[in-house]
Amino acid sequence: MPEQRSSIHGQWSSRFIFMLAAIGSAVGLGNIWKFPYIAGENGGGAFVLVYLCCIALIGAPIMMAEILLGRRGRRSPINTMRVLVREERAHRAWSLLGWGGVITGFLILSYYSVIAGWALAYVFRAAAGTFMGVDAETVVAQFEGLLSSPGSVLAWHTIFMVMTMVVVARGVRGGLEMAVTFLMPALFVLLLILVGYAMSLGAFEQGFNFLFNLNFGKVFQVCETGASGVEQCRFTGEPMLIALGHAFFTLSLGMGAIMVYGSYMPGKTSIASATLVIVAADTIVALLAGLAIFPIVFANGLEPAAGPGLIFQTLPIAFGAMSGGQFFGTLFFVLLVFAAWSSAISIIEPTVAWLVENHGMRRVPAAALVGILAWFLGIGTVLSFNLLSGEEFQLFGKTLFDLIDYLTANILLPLGGLCIALFTGWVMSRASSLDELGMRDGIGYRTWRFLLRYISPLLVLIVFFNAIGLL
């Protein structure tokens, strides 16, 4: 048995704070901005079901594994993997996992900060009363107005990135603990208010059915109307890949964010029950966001497949129409920014922790370095919605933003998650995982290990191969 390690970066002050921080990482733009729009683009119900299955069968077991690895290694993911590779006498190639996470983190943060910048801009728009009494058309035009101005999007992106760097520089615990204790519950209450408003609309049932009625045709087929006006459909595994990728993205898995938070987790607290709470909270927030948004979409004749602008083109209509809308609208976007903030922090923490451990850097320059690099990369996303949106700037029909999003969420995170599952399930000894989880070798442990060794890897591989058309 290894000696009891402790992290040089300190520890969460309690199990409760660990959970809040992990929920802060998981709940973010992925739940409120991304989930509704990809559910909208991929036909709703069946997609949501595939997503929920991915969360339960792949996401939850891998989250336990990631926390376990982090807490056992007690270092940044790169060094945690090095330590565990030595301890388990495994091949050195497994250490690459930590490196993959660093690169993925840069890529994700670069665009995450731009979208969070949109939300920041909307805080001020809501506060200024811009949405009062607006109709759907005006809301769409307002959103397009923001996107078409690279200068202002860049400015908001910059402000958000600076906010992230400041908290990471001060140490994750100091800045974060207070924020997550109050803001996460507040966001939850506000989402409930929005769902209440959505319920008062005639289209609530339609929105509900869109999210929960199964229509597998949409998940397994894409249909295009050709030049001749005839609709042609073909089978595709892509929506399943998107659902799988989103399960990783929304739970912050596959790149070391949850691993690094696990490394600050006090010993002797149950990893299994913490995972359950984090996964449940994340899923409930995403479903609430969907339930708030789709009734508004249908009540106003909007397009569910509107893409990344979906929440910015729907929620302002609701705020504009409800009493106290100026206040609630402002509060909502403030909380959305906080949710994004607490996620963004966790995206760069693995890299910053590694710079501190291996290069003797202090946190301030380390956070600045990582933030500035991601900021530069983010300029590509800023321009993807205006100057570089034209077809001549696209690759495989995707803008730079689409490419980075696709590569990270649908390929790199599932690959990272697959490696985590294989390492924890096959390479790490049973004794080590039992010891770190603090579980008995009973039905709970065995189910987890079975999911991790067989089910999660197989499902990830099937969805991958299915998507590239080999199955």
Q: Which residues pair with 222 in a beta bridge?
A: 234
Q: How far is CA 222 from CA 40, 42, 284, in A?
A: 14, 9, 29
Q: What dihedral angle (degrees, nearest 10) is formed by the CA atoms of 128, 129, 130, 136?
A: 150
Q: Which stretch binds ligand PFF (CB under 6 A): 27-35, 158-166, 395-403, 448-456?
A: 27-35
Q: Which stretch binds ligand PFF (CB under 6 A): 21-29, 75-83, 310-318, 361-369?
A: 21-29
Nearer to ligand PFF, 140 or 287 (CB): 287
Per CB under 6 A, 252 contacts ligand PFF: yes
Q: Which stretch binds ligand PFF (CB under 6 A): 151-159, 300-308, 324-332, 343-351?
A: 343-351
Out of 249, 298, 328, 354, point to the residue binding ligand PFF (CB under 6 A): 249
Inter-residue contact 67 to 253 (CB < 8 Å)? no
Per CB under 6 A, 108 contacts ligand PFF: yes
Out of 330, 343, 351, 466, point to the residue binding ligand PFF (CB under 6 A): 343
- Cα separation of 393 and 315, whole Å? 31
Out of 19, 24, 28, 240, point to the residue binding ligand PFF (CB under 6 A): 28
Inter-residue contact 12 to 252 (CB < 8 Å)? no
Nearer to ligand PFF, 108 or 292 (CB): 108
Out of 48, 81, 107, 255, point to the residue binding ligand PFF (CB under 6 A): 255
- Cα separation of 399 and 380, whole Å? 9
Angle 12-359-26 from CA coordinates, rounded to 5°: 35
| String marking each residue 344-363 x if it binds ligand PFF according to CB under 6 A | --xx----------------
- Cα separation of 38 and 35, whole Å? 5
- Of all residues in the shown chain, the one whose CB is closest to ligand PFF is 30
Q: 398 by DSSP, 3-state: which?
A: strand
Quote the least distance from Cβ 253 to ligand PFF, whole Å. 7
Per CB under 6 A, 100 contacts ligand PFF: no
Q: 314 by DSSP, 3-state: which?
A: helix
Q: Which residues pair with 232 in a beta bridge?
A: 224
Per CB under 6 A, 250 contacts ligand PFF: yes
Nearer to ligand PFF, 257 or 421 (CB): 257
- Cα separation of 48 and 28, whole Å? 18
> Where along the sequence are the contacts to ligand PFF (CB under 6 A)?
25-26, 28-31, 108, 249-250, 252, 255, 257, 343, 346-347
